[in-house]
Structure 1
Amino acid sequence: MTQIIESLDDISSRYKALFVDLWGCLHNGREAFPDAVAALQRYKATGGTVVLLTNAPRHRGAVADQLASLDVPEDCWDTIATSGDSARAAMFRGVVGEKVFFIGIDFDLTFFDPIKIVEDPVDITRVPLEEAEGIVCTGPFDAHADPADLRPQLLYAKQKGLKLLCANPDIVVDRGETREYCAGAIAQLYTEMGGESLYFGKPHPPIYDLARRRLAQIADVPDSAILCIGDGIATDIRGALGEDMDSLFISGGLAAAETQTTRQPDPDALAKYLNREMASPTFAIGQLR
């Protein structure tokens, strides 16, 4: 049964490392959450290691720059593992070909930056859909538009047998008070249409393998001593369950309404929500603090 806790401090001594989600947990896309920053700083002060584990479709350098712009201090984390890193490695190994159709915005063009960790990377070229061997999706062209607007292009791609590389499995995020679609919504639609989507972020194994490698560069920590923290029941929590790691569900993020979270979730609403989602996080809290 999921235990509602008051503070990360209540359980932090059980774990040597944290895998911490960003959006909805440490910031809202516009500003950092001071209480979350302070909680991670306290944890690091006890000797724990913090791995920021995000479905951002960018490499970790770009994510670090974004965190700085949101006033998230570097002393609350140790390293970063991104869905973008994992997906970029696959792209440069040629999993969707060399000529790709890009679905995304200019802000995410860092996805195509040169990569060092892949030996003999393929030469990736962005081309019109008619010339493409595959699709790379970092997010919709318009985060507020219905993903179904892309159905004609996706139908054409499916008929050509193109694979879609999804660099961010999240379906939606909340930017401040505004909900936005992510690449996962497009990949989900493509799969429902009969196309093949390739995922590399949470809850899928590749990003956890990357996170473990990044953690191993700092400390030797078994899975049993890692706590996964996040607000995505289908990504953060399902991913932790799939990796057999403990988890802390931030109920005041994407599921704030369903769990009736103000400062803390309503116990009955939380239980109903978790039962509906068939998920059982180890712990839950309103916001990371």
Structure 2
Amino acid sequence: MMGRSFSSMPIEFQTINGLQQLAETRRFKAWFLDQFGVLHDGKQPYPGAISTLEKLANYGTKMVIISNSSRRASTTFDKLRSLGFDTSLFVGAITSGELAHEYLLRRDDPWFTRLGRSCIHMTWNDRGAISLEGLDLQVVDNVEEAEFILAHGTEALGLPSGAALSMMLEDLEKILEQCVAKKIPMVVANPDFVTVEARALRVMPGTLAATYEKLGGEVKWMGKPGEGSLLLLSLEGSMQLNSDLVNSEKLQITLLFMLLPRNTRLIQHMCSHHLHGSLIIVFLCGSEAQLPIHSQYMEEHRF
């Protein structure tokens, strides 16, 4: 789940004995947890992840899923339930897909207000196309008719009929070349470059967005990293979390947990797809096989 790089920040290291030690302090108002490559690999939970969440809940921990998934929050919970997780343990979920949906629906942000209604929709095929229901958008397959690009996936091009035409990444990139010539903007609903799926890496929409920027196109990146206002909007608006959590001063994203069940070590730093300028606490598993993306990133940057 690699995304854009961020400016250098001081790196401090602290070793802890496990999540229980931290949970017992009851110091943090909320715990924010990623899902892919953290709780599960897209196909099955990581060993001990389900029981760890249950134990954390016993300490009164309020947990929120925060994920660069192009799908909406309700779909995220459906996915977690299908993998055996008890979703009642979470007070909410925030996904980049949910943020994109909210901004396209509300259009009270000046940038989104200027967007038109006709779009080139890059979506999924094998992974399941993403519905645009309720957004009052017109999907077109002719760049000349498009006013912006909406990137949900990297496997297909959405058609006006509602179907999806399977395409290779290279074919989608050729469409981007036509779009940049017309100078239309892109909204990317998942800023990750890749994600983990059963220990393999899958190309994510962030790859298309990065290509579009290199071509000279304008991109609105949704999700992590992102401005705190995006997250707070989601919490206060679409997520409808408990008022004591929303109103807490500790909600200023001082804690982001990448939860893995065993052999954990605490690192106050994270790969490039997480939040800028904030205290980030991350748990990485001792097994690099479970985290092919993070282990690759650390190898490249010699952590």
Same fold, TM exceeding 0.5? yes
Q: Which moved more, 1:125-134 or 1:4-13?
A: 4-13
Partners of 1:111 and 1:58 lie apart in 2 by 9
Q: Which has the higher helix share?
A: 1
The corresponding residue for 1:118 is none
Q: Does 1:192 align with 2:214?
A: yes
| Alignment-derived partner of residue 273 in structure 1 | 302
SS at match of 1:228: coil
One-letter code of the match for 2:104?
Answer: M
RMSD of aligned alpha carbons = 2.6
Q: 1:91/1:273 Cα in 2 relative to 1: closer, same or farther (>3 Å)?
A: farther
Structure 2: gaps of 5 or more residues: 1-11, 157-166, 260-269
1:11 pairs with 2:22: yes
Q: Distance in 1 between matches of 2:67 and 2:58?
A: 23
What is the alpha-carbon distance in structure 2 between the residues aligned to residue 166 and residue 255 of structure 1?
Answer: 22
1:1-289 → structure 2 map (5 Å cutoff):
1-12=12-23, 13=25, 14-93=27-106, 95=112, 96-106=115-125, 107=127, 109-114=129-134, 123-130=136-143, 131-141=145-155, 147-205=169-227, 206-210=229-233, 212-213=235-236, 214=239, 215-217=241-243, 219=245, 220-221=247-248, 222-223=250-251, 226-230=254-258, 233-236=271-274, 239=275, 241-242=276-277, 244-250=278-284, 252=288, 253=291, 254-257=293-296, 259=298, 273-274=302-303
Pairs aligned (count): 251
Superposition deviation, residue 158 in structure 1? 0.5
Q: List runs of 5+ in structure 1 lacking aligned partners.
A: 115-121, 260-268, 275-289
TM-score scaled by structure 2? 0.74
Q: 1:109 to 1:150 in 2, by over 3 A?
A: closer
Distance 1:258 1:160, change over 3 A: closer
How much identity, in percent, do the aligned residues show? 24
2:43 partner SS:
coil
Deviation at 1:110, TM superposition (A): 3.9
SS at match of 2:295: coil
Q: Secondary structure at the match of 1:51?
A: strand
Q: Give structure 1 regions of 4+ aligned residues with deviation exceeding 3 angstroms.
A: 106-111, 145-149, 214-218, 223-226
Distance 1:158 1:92, change over 3 A: same
- d(CA) in 1 for partners of 2:32, 2:234: 8
Give the TM-score taking structure 1 as reference length. 0.77
